[in-house]
Structure 1
Amino acid sequence: MSKKIRVGWDDLKPGDLMSRTDWHSMIKVEGDGVGVSATWKLGVEKEPVSVFLVVYEEDFAYATRPAPKKKPRPSIVEPILPGEYWARIRFGSQTGWGRIIKRYAPRSDNWLFGHDDKAPYQTSWCGTLAGLHPWMTWEELLEVNKQTPILELLSAEEYYTRKAKGEL
């Protein structure tokens, strides 16, 4: 069963189901303004009858329409290029911005990173008790962020441009 929302007099649109205080059923809105054409059955086994009704605001009780479908949240796609990225993340009921660094993947024999070469991401909000920000894979980053989901991901250029324009 689809969810419905209530609609006020000033927001009536064709397709809405309208009710008046003295009606026993909902009537489908077909036109704009006070003229409302409606179709309903006269009795259980009768054929539908189409009539033209005039409904005035003082007689109007309410109307309903199907609730708008929620837009799916855009999926966050793993960055292709190394560099700085900014993620809008949710902390409880608040949102904020955190930095993600994707490093150039070093060769596996690099003494600085060693075996960690398959973990190119570091975030500004995923620290350990020692305050260190561990390097992780994209999958680990998303797993860690189940408590602080990423809502939007911007390149550094997009982030700083929008920030300079006052859009963030």
Structure 2
Amino acid sequence: MSKKIRVGWDDLKPGDLIHVKGSTNTYRFKSRTDWHSMIKVEGDGVGVSATWKLGVSVFLVVYEEDFAYATRPAPKKKPRPSIVEPILPGEYWARIRFGSQTGWGRIIKRYAPRSDNWLFGHDDKAPYQTSWCGTLAGLHPWMTWEELLEVNKQTPILELLSAEEYYTRKAKGEL
């Protein structure tokens, strides 16, 4: 069963279930009328405020004074987008959470070095470095994508942008 939220008189939308004072029946909200103190509903059973007939049209109405509350399905939570490992080397920016705060941190994906590179040794499987994962010495270690995600369980990555996307959005004032 899906969760429902309560809705007030001023926030009604077509399809909301109307609950009337003193009745166990529910009615489906159809539309507002020209009078602000009543709404058109669909349904049957005892509890509706009145049945109106205008010309050929017949419709049920609920007066605001008889309205108890309305319900509608709760909005679905948007799934958090999965963070996909960057394919190309370069600079990336991650929106990360530090406790209740969020901020941006830089991730560098280096070009895979040749196996005889003296700077990186023989380990070309650790191409990532972040601006927020340091050691006690203040160095920023190189790590694999899996290690980066593991380290970030305390500071989860919420969004990952290429440098171009990051600087473009920042220049537009969107960040």
Give the TM interval when normalised to the shorter protein: 0.7 to 0.9
Q: Residues 54, 28 of structure 1: CA spacing in aligned structure 2 closer, same or farther, 3 A cutoff?
A: closer
In the TM superposition, residue 10 of structure 1 has moved relative to its aligned partner by 2.1
Given that 2:41 and 2:62 are in contact with CA atoms closer than 8 Å, whether structure 1 keeps it comes out as no
Q: Deviations over 1:115-151 (max 9, x none)?
A: 3211000000011111111100011101110111101
The answer for unaligned runs of 5 or more in structure 2 is 18-30
| Contact 2:38–2:62 (CA under 8 A) maintained in structure 1 | no
1:14 offset after TM fit, Å?
A: 2.9
Q: Deviations over 1:46-88 (max 9, x none)?
A: xxx9995311122211111111111111111111111000000
> How far did residue 107 of structure 1 move?
1.1
Aligned length: 162
What is the CA distance between 1:158 and its match in structure 2? Answer: 0.8
Q: Check 1:21–1:122 CA distance in 2 against 1; reply closer, same or farther (3 A cut).
A: same
Tell me the TM-score normalized by structure 1: 0.78
Q: Return the match for 2:43 from 12, 21, 31.
A: 31
Q: In structure 1, list runs of 5 or more residues that go unmatched.
A: 44-48
* Aligned-pair Cα RMSD in Å: 6.8
Using the size of structure 2 for normalisation, the TM-score is 0.75
Q: Using the aligned pairs only, state the percent identity.
A: 100
Contact preservation (8 Å) 1:89, 1:96: yes
- Residues 14 and 30, structure 1, Cα contact 8 Å, conserved in 2: no
Residues 76 and 38 of structure 1, relative CA distance in 2, 3 Å threshold: farther
Shift of 1:38: 12
Change in 2 beyond 3 A, CA 1:54/1:75: same
Aligned to 2:105, which of 70, 82, 98?
98
